[in-house]
Amino acid sequence: MAHAPHDPFHLAFTEPSWDDLRIFLAVVAHGSMNGAAKALGQSQPTIARRIKALEETLGLDLFQRGPNNLELTEAGRAILDAASPMGEAASVVSRTAAAYRPDPDAPVRVTATSSVAMFLSLHSAELHKAAEPVEIAYIPTRRRLDLASGEADIGLRMRTLPEGTDDLVVRKIGQIAFAIYATTENPDAVIAPPEDPTLSRQAAYVAEFAQGRTIAARIGDMPIRYQAAKAGLGAAFLPCWLGDSDPDLKQVVKPEGDLIEDVFLVMHRRSRNRPNVARVANALAALFKRSQKALVGG
């Protein structure tokens, strides 16, 4: 597609429309104008017209158009790199706005590591009963979701207080312990996490235990690591509430020192006055209080 020469003054002062950039990002994300049209609730001709207008504004061809596909040009890839943070920022704005005007019927989203989320799942029936009529959505992840922008309503975080807590309400609700478990008392093989031991406290602890033993596998996902240990693959680093409850597993190393971590319940300050969030938070705190003996192991 050829473009007529542009007036330098026009180029200096004409900026692309955010709506057109949003459509461009949608076309890239969905791989076609039809896909973007369906996602945005617009017609395919409208999408094609807005992409053409964006190309004319920029004086660039953003796509190479084939019979059944679109491919970004080199210029298109550069514009994608520049526009993507704008799309992410718009998404954060939308989530933040939604967090300040929450749907009273929306589920309360609880984020935690996989080991804590798995513990919560065992008690999900009683948590549901305590939180009724609100639903609880569980988000297992090691990534610290941003409570301020509304990625989650409640975070269960371990070991240390979160940084930058001015806008956060933080309460310690208990402790959780970890230990090495295996099907035999003196295992000769170890299931290690995949992380670099210099970057992960857990990986460093397991690496020290593994000296003189065979690394049978590297498994990051805790529930899968548990199943592998239970199958006799080797010793694994597991939460005590899980390892102690399984008659097929033996505690090889007792929990002490850094293997016992504090658990903090974290909310953004605006959430504490939301009845649904407060009810779920209180139910979580009560569960940890009742379960401390199992959580810290023995």
Residue pLDDT, tens place only, 81-94: 888 887 777 666 66
- According to the model, what pLDDT value does residue 100 have? 57
CA distance 68 to 106: 40
Domain range for residue 65? Answer: 8-100
Read off the amino acid at residue 211. Q
pLDDT band at residue 165 using 50, 70 and 90 as cut-offs: low
Query: What single DSSP character describes residue 177?
Result: E
Q: Which residue among 100, 133, 164 closes a domain?
A: 100
Q: Are residues 191 and 150 in the same domain?
A: yes
Q: In this structure, what token pair is assigned to residue 268?
A: 């953004």
Q: Are residues 205 and 90 in the same domain?
A: no
- According to the model, what pLDDT value does residue 39 have? 83
Q: Are residues 278 and 194 in the same domain?
A: yes
Task: Average the pLDDT over 130-136 and give the result.
Answer: 85
Q: Are residues 63 and 202 in the same domain?
A: no
Mean pLDDT over each residue of the chain, to the nearest integer: 84
8-33 as b/e, with b when 16 or more CB fall inside 10 Å? eeeeeeeebeeebbbbbbbbbebeeb
**Residue 12 confidence (pLDDT) above 50:** no
Cβ-based neighbours of 282, under 8 Å, separated by 6 or more? 130
**Residue 54 confidence (pLDDT) above 70:** yes
Look at the pTM and tell me if it is higher than 0.75: no
- According to the model, what pLDDT value does residue 9 have? 42
Question: Looking at the 3D structure of the chain, how many domains does it have?
Answer: 2
Q: Which residue among 100, 125, 146 closes a domain?
A: 100
User: For residue 2, is it within any domain?
Assistant: no
Q: Are residues 66 and 124 in the same domain?
A: no
What values do phi and psi take at 88, rounded to 5?
A: -65, -40
Q: In this structure, what token pair is assigned to residue 75?
A: 């210029």
Q: Are residues 163 and 143 in the same domain?
A: yes
Q: Which residue among 51, 69, 100 closes a domain?
A: 100
User: For residue 3, is it within any domain?
Assistant: no
CA distance 281 to 201: 28
Task: Average the pLDDT over 154-161 and give the result.
Answer: 79
Read off the amino acid at residue 110. V
Q: Are residues 54 and 93 in the same domain?
A: yes
User: For residue 89, is it within any domain?
Assistant: yes
Q: Are residues 166 and 231 in the same domain?
A: yes
Query: What single DSSP character describes residue 6?
Result: P
User: For residue 273, is it within any domain?
Assistant: yes
Q: Are residues 41 and 110 in the same domain?
A: no
- According to the model, what pLDDT value does residue 90 have? 67
CA distance 193 to 163: 26
User: For residue 150, is it within any domain?
Assistant: yes
CA distance 236 to 35: 45
Q: Are residues 284 and 157 in the same domain?
A: yes
